[in-house]
Amino acid sequence: MTRSSPLVRPLPFAVALASLGVFYLLQTATPLRIDNDAVDYLRMGAAIADGRPLPVVTLPLGYPVFLALLDRAGLGSSFFFVLANGLFLGIGLWATWKIFDQIGVGLRQAIVLLTLLVTPVVRSVAAPLPETAFFAVSILALLAMKIGVSANGRRRLRWFTAAFVLAGLAMSVRLVAVALIPAFLWSCLVALHHPLDAKQGRRLGIVTVAVVLSLAVLVVALARMAVFEGYMSYPRYWYVYGQLTSPVTRRIAGTFSSLGELILNIPRSRFHNLRPLFIATGMVSAIGYLVTLRRPVRPTPVGIYLLSYVAVLVFWPYDSPRLWMPITPLLLALVVSSIGRLSWTPPVKLVITGYTAWFVLTGLGAIAYTTRISLSGDKFAQLYGRNGGMGSGNQEGPYTPESMAPYNALADSVLRRYGGHAWERR
């Protein structure tokens, strides 16, 4: 990541990218990886493919519809689920490259390669979950907004139309895509404020009013949907019916902890005792970025979306590393571009070189770990944990073997359909 980095030359970058791509493709060998969310998505996809009533699950329909299409095409297996995730990841990285075309080739190369080494990104590809699909569609929507702002005449309207459609598609995959709405409105207002001629200005003004009204209708319709109501029941439980102080404090700590996990690039699930370190790292990094932020700050579709997305994550009462996966390249772009503006004194260069080495090593370790699981064959259930994603339960407490029986029955059904077998519970 130094200014003299050899990655600026195409060959080293191509070799590094191809090598990481091979390891990502190896994940297609994994047996079906499940957890409670994956089971629900697969159940919904199976119901749509069969034309049966949907199970009572509060999840958006976009990703289950995609799973159903694969199922109906005879591609309903772990191999094709993971292959599709890899394709979505590639599309999202291509769009990221296009979005940050103003920061230079070397820095963009660093963003792409480091993204592929982020632990939540590595883990997201190998499971039938919607993060990579949402990443691809949301970044494409941002790219369309960016191009639309600087486009001419009818091309501008076409790009804004594409952005609107892509934003709607992203909402069908993950409801957090509401964070795209402020970015889209800002893009329309900027274009309205800088029309290329009077006629286009009037036309764009009419279109902008229509877009605002359409977004208002979309938000109202979304708020009336059962899936939205289901999602809102979780924060309502914590912030309205629960004690206010404890959830707020926990959310602040959880947000900094998640940010620290991304920066340290090691999973909290494996290092529970390091939670204070995760929180401190996230807090110091956030404060440090704000202090060194170049002023005045110029709003962009990417910046507004990133701020809105993080605000949603702060409000959401639960922590999960995979929730941060879709904005990982955008966060990396902030870090990499900030580093590119530093004065490269020997101490600064030493710190950056050391941190980059740490990030690369931990990323390669994550890839090696997940590849070992993917190629584990008969040992998959043991290495993946929880008997291959099945609920075993404890003898004491709320999660007893008896309480896990309904989930395990559902997990058995999706494993038989999409995994070719069901794990034997122990």
Per-residue tokens: 361: 């090593």
Out of 30-39, 153-162, 232-241, which region has the weakest mean confidence (pLDDT)? 232-241
Per-residue tokens: 185: 């409105």
> Residue 211, CB half-sphere, CA atoms under 13 Å: how many?
27
For position 279, what pLDDT does the model report? 92
The stretch 57-66 carries a mean pLDDT of: 91
For position 127, what pLDDT does the model report? 92
Q: Are 307 and 297 in contact (CB under 8 A)?
A: no
Per-residue tokens: 147: 């191009």
Terminal CA-CA length for the chain: 48
Total-model pTM = 0.87
Q: What angle do CA 302, 315, 237 make, to 5 degrees?
A: 150
Q: Where do we find the tokens 């404020």? A: 193
Q: What count of residues does the chain have?
A: 426
331-363 per-position pLDDT tens digit: 999 888 777 676 778 888 898 889 999 999 999
Per-residue tokens: 278: 């995760």
Q: Are 121 and 159 in contact (CB under 8 A)?
A: no
The stretch 363-379 carries a mean pLDDT of: 93
For position 395, what pLDDT does the model report? 42
Centroid of chain to Cα 63: 14
Q: What angle do CA 87, 88, 89 make, to 5 degrees?
A: 90
Instruction: Answer whether residue 242 shows pLDDT above 50.
Output: yes
SS3 content of the chain, % helix, strand, coil (to 5): 75, 0, 25
Out of 150-154, 181-185, 330-334, 349-353, which region has the weakest mean confidence (pLDDT)? 150-154
Q: Are 274 and 244 in contact (CB under 8 A)?
A: no
The stretch 81-100 carries a mean pLDDT of: 96
Residue of higher predicted confidence among 222 and 351: 351
Kindly list the distances between the CA atom of residue 90 and the CA atoms of 27, 35, 97, 133, 136, in Å, as whole numbers in the listed order: 15, 24, 11, 10, 8
The stretch 60-82 carries a mean pLDDT of: 94
Residue of higher predicted confidence among 202 and 23: 23
The stretch 68-82 carries a mean pLDDT of: 94
Residue of higher predicted confidence among 18 and 345: 18
Q: Are 112 and 159 in contact (CB under 8 A)?
A: no
The stretch 208-219 carries a mean pLDDT of: 64
Instruction: Answer whether residue 196 shows pLDDT above 60.
Output: no
Provide the mean pLDDT of the chain.
83
Kindly list the distances between the CA atom of residue 23 and the CA atoms of 18, 29, 134, 337, 377, in Å, as whole numbers in the listed order: 9, 11, 22, 27, 17
The stretch 350-377 carries a mean pLDDT of: 93
